[in-house]
Amino acid sequence: MKNEIKMVLTLFDGEYAGGTATQTTTSEGLSVEMKTFYSDYLIDVATPLLVHDQWAQKRPIPKNHGKTIEFRKYSPLEKALTPLTEGVTPKGNNLNVSKVEATIYQYGDWIRMSDMLLLTAIDNNMVEAIDILGDQAGRTLDTITREVLNGGTNVFYAPAGTDEVIARHAITPACKMTTDLTFKVAAHLKTMNAKTLDGNQYVQIIHPNVAYDLMKDPLWQDAQKYKNPEKIYNGEIGSIGQVRYVETSEAKIFRGADLAVGSRNLKVASAVETASATIPIAAATTGGTVAADSLVGRFVLISGYKYKVKANATNSITIQSLNASGVWEDTSITVAANTVIYPGEGGAEGISVYSSVTLGANAYGTTEVTGGGLEHIVCQLGSGGTSDPLKQRATAGWKATKAVCRLVEEYICRIESSATVYNQAAN
């Protein structure tokens, strides 16, 4: 939900500041107050979109200390099972502190505005630009955190009814999220001694399509019915048992791109009767085309098995399979003509797979948005010097410095499932 801010644009005029001349944004330089206002406004627009950052350990951007940021974690002490001796002070113990370092990177974008655009209402256009840039900055920084949280190997796959599923590419439309799955993940976090985030509950980040399935459960409690609704998280919609659910359309979706231009799937053009690693292909949809080398590194599903594309021409692909050591190696298959080849990055037959990340306290860390984490930059008309001799161009942009790292692997779990609405595009 985006904050709405009402502004008096003349607030930063020279006359309001006690000066004799009116200071406007078309003057030689923006006032310090105006620059601060624009920068704060950008942060106000961006911050509500940072759903995935809410429960991180946050550290300020390190100044003059290189491109790394340090997070600390403390190991629990062993149980003190030796009885004390009367009158004797025990040896005592020490804190076991380890550090996790993350590399910081910069991200950003900008918009160019012409003098004719700014001539009509410069402040209004500048504010509109900040709205658009702030939205982009927030979604960008949120996605960076999301991708880190969706790494790791602590994953639970939604079963197809009573049938167990052990891999993402085997998830079918029947593999929906259930309360039993969230209870199972909460129990797993407890066995890992993960602390809850509010002294009582863990948090799970879910997509609206997953929420649609969960909210029909009779155990569901809407957030507005909480005893203390003022303490809900940004995006929180409800809870079941020891899990609080935070909804965002930016929750991770695994779904491969179309395999051909104009066709989602491919098909085997002619039967491969003698085992071979190279398979003749055609687009499954008439008129679809496959560009040479466009599928290299992609995954495909053939007869329910997952393969990696080593090479491809416009009419063939060469595949590899995963060996017992976890290495992709050359392989060969026998396959019938017209067998459908699906994108292999999602579920069965290329459907979308939704990731629901469950978090314990102190599971991950990130950098602060303020204090250099996110900055708004305005270059006014004529600031380009000889590259803009007629003062025709001005720009507005943002720049952010960010790092994200997983601190305790055992405190981050994800559930991969389908949903009633399952063919959502990847995000």
AA letter at 3: N
User: What Cα–Cα distance (Å) separates residue 188 from each residue in 160, 185, 219, 407?
Assistant: 21, 5, 20, 17
Position 71: which residue type? F
Q: Are 60 and 374 in contact (CB under 8 A)?
A: no
Closest C-alpha to 242, from 308, 198, 177: 198
| pLDDT tens-digit series, residues 171-200 | 999 999 999 999 999 999 999 999 999 878
Q: What residues in the chain have per-residue pLDDT under 70?
A: 1-35, 37-38, 64-65, 116-117, 119-123, 230
In angstroms, the CA 388 to CA 240 distance is: 59
Six-digit token string for 36: 């601060």
The whole-number pLDDT of residue 92 equals 84
Residue 34 has a pLDDT of 64
What pLDDT score does 10 carry? 40
> What pLDDT, on a 0 to 100 scale, did the predictor assign at position 172?
96
Check: CB of residue 134 under 8 Å from CB of residue 46: yes
pTM of the predicted protein model:
0.84
Strand (E) positions, 340-424?
Answer: 340-343, 353-359, 364-367, 374-379, 393-402, 404-406, 412-417
**pLDDT reported for residue 168:** 97
Q: pLDDT at position 30, please?
A: 55
